[in-house]
Chain A
Amino acid sequence: ETGVTQSPTHLIKTRGQQVTLRCSSQSGHNTVSWYQQALGQGPQFIFQYYREEENGRGNFPPRFSGLQFPNYSSELNVNALELDDSALYLCASSPDPGLASTDEQFFGPGTRLTVL
C-alpha cells in the first residue's frame, strides 16, 4: 500500500508568481484535503476534493484553487504569491469524505514553500 506523496519537497518563489503543488493520495482513497501550516502554527484547512469536485473550503481567498484528477491525485494552485504564503503545505487523503470527518486522514510529508 503506497502512502500519500507530495512534490516537490521544497520550493522557492518570488512574490507575484504562481505555484502548483502536487499530491498523490493513498491507494483506494478518493478524498483529498489540503492544509497550510505556517511556522509555529497548526495546519489550516484550505479545501477538500471528492471525486474531482470541491466539497468544502476554509477561509482562503480564491487565488488558492485546486484540482482533483480521475486517479484521485490532486493539485493545489496559488496565484499572485504573497510573502505570507510561505508555509508548509500538507495534503491528506481518506477513503470517503464522511470518513474524513470521523476517521483517520493520512498525511503526506508536505511541501515547504518559501516566497521571497
Chain B
Amino acid sequence: AQSVTQLDSHVSVSEGTPVLLRCNYSSSYSPSLFWYVQHPNKGLQLLLKYTSAATLVKGINGFEAEFKKSETSFHLTKPSAHMSDAAEYFCVTTGGFKTIFGAGTRLFVKA
C-alpha cells in the first residue's frame, strides 16, 4: 500500500537560510508524489508534483524536490526562506482513487 512519512513535525529556520522538509514514501510501483502547502485559514495549494518524469522537480515560490528511488525519499527544499513561507507542508501520494497525506511539517521562519 502507498504511504508517506514526514520525518519532522516542526522545522524552524531563520529568514534567508535554506529549508529542508523531509518525506519518505512507500510504494509498490512508481508513485505520484506531491507537496502541498496550507497557510492558516487558506486552502491547500499545490507546490509541486512528481509523476515519473524528471527526478528534480521545480515548483512555485522557489521550492523544489528531488525524487530519489534508492532512498525512497522526496524531500522539499528552498535555498532561502522567506517569512511568508511559514505554513504547514504536506507530502502526498496517491494509490488507486485514494489520496494519502503525510502528517504534515510545520515550518517556522524566524526574523
Contacts and interface: CB of A to CB of B under 8 A. Distances in A.
Contacts of B45: 107
Contact of A101 (B36, B46, B97): B97
A41 interface: yes
A51 B95 CA distance: 20
Interface of B is mostly: strand
Given A90-B44, A101-B32, A107-B44, A41 B98 contact: no
A55 B97 contact: yes
A102 B94 contact: yes
Interface residues of A, number: 27
Interface residues of B, number: 23
B100 A104 contact: no
B46 A45 contact: no
Given A90-B44, A100-B99, A41 B94 contact: no
B98 A56 contact: yes
Interface in A19-52: 33, 35, 40-45, 48, 50
A33 B99 contact: yes
Interface in A97-115: 97, 100-105, 107-110
Contact of B49 (A35, A56, A104, A108): A104
